[in-house]
Amino acid sequence: MSYDLDPELLPWLDMLPQVTMTDYKALVAARTQQSELANLIPVYEPAHPIDVRDETVPGPSGAPDVRVRVYGRAGRENPVPGLVYIHGGGFVIGSVEMFEAHVLKVVDQLNVVVVSVDYRLAPEHPFPAPVEDCYAALTWVAAKAGELGIDPARLGVGGESAGGGLTAGTVLLARDRGGPELAFQLLGIPELDDRLDTDSMRDYVDTPLWNRPNAIYSWTAYLGTEPGGDDVSPYAAPARATDLSGLPPAFVTTCQYDPLRDEGVEYARRLAHAGVPTELRLYPGTFHGSSLVESAEISRRMFADEVDALRRGLKVTDSR
């Protein structure tokens, strides 16, 4: 297909790595390409001193501990909002390091504490390992809020792509397990539905960075079986959840030429119909991961919208 992409994105297409995941051998090759993606992201120099440290938190029952990376402005005196951040990568690639520049920008601009989760990756660790790691990190953050300098009444979860799907699954777990209480959820271009049956998922077989063939492998690796079966857990594929009531306010983003577009739009619609305060943004001329091109005006607008949504959702009162 041909795609009417934003003109500022077009010159970058040849510089983006051609990520193709059809089997485990291809996945190994894709993992080696992570550095190519990272090289597209300019080094971010914060305007404020930021403390960064790694912690190891108790993992799910019977599972290894989970590494998290904690970011916060140096010299904070009063509790600030907190965000558990879940990186993207189709459940099978990605790391806290790969998304560090993005997290640093959020902390620098908003004066919040962000805890980024280094969850286990599929297919070596299929569902429920990744989402349970994220929930374990969330419960640790809530329990340690005082030590971390976080106001527990202003705690949220957010992520992008597979991280958006894991965010939705973690939020569902928090509701169904009786906590922690959450103020906000950020679902950035989320991967939510293993059934692969929306218009955008059927049609976008050759879009940049992410497309239907990659999505098929992603879900197969995460579920440990063929996607689209009858017994897939809503904590794995949140689009399967039959009840979305009682969830925290949501900000959902989608890209026009992204196979994940329609499932994000539909999830936002269902959240709103369930009485959850929900804001949806669909960015024209964009593709999955096009925000890597930070110089494009549409990418700058996407990040500004995310920062504004976090400011409102986490009730940031002083970001100076």
Active-site positions?
Answer: 161, 258, 288
Omega before 123 within 30 of 0, i.e. cis: yes
Residue 201's nearest CA partner among 228, 169, 172 is 228
Q: How far apart are CA 116 and CA 137, in angstroms?
A: 9
Per DSSP, the three-state class of 141 is helix
Q: How far is CA 226 from CA 78, 215, 236, in A?
A: 49, 12, 13
Contact 261, 6 (CB under 8 A): no
Q: Give the E-state strand segments of 178-234 in sequence order.
A: 184-188
If residue 117 lies in a helix (H) or strand (E), which one and from where to where? strand 113-118
* φ and ψ at residue 281, rounded to 5 degrees: -125, 130
Residue 238's nearest CA partner among 176, 286, 294, 194 is 194
| Alpha carbon of residue 57 to chain centroid | 20
Q: How far apart are CA 298 and CA 291, in angstroms?
A: 8
Contact 241, 172 (CB under 8 A): yes
| Alpha carbon of residue 318 to chain centroid | 25
Residue 257's nearest CA partner among 317, 224, 229, 298 is 298
* φ and ψ at residue 83, rounded to 5 degrees: -135, 125
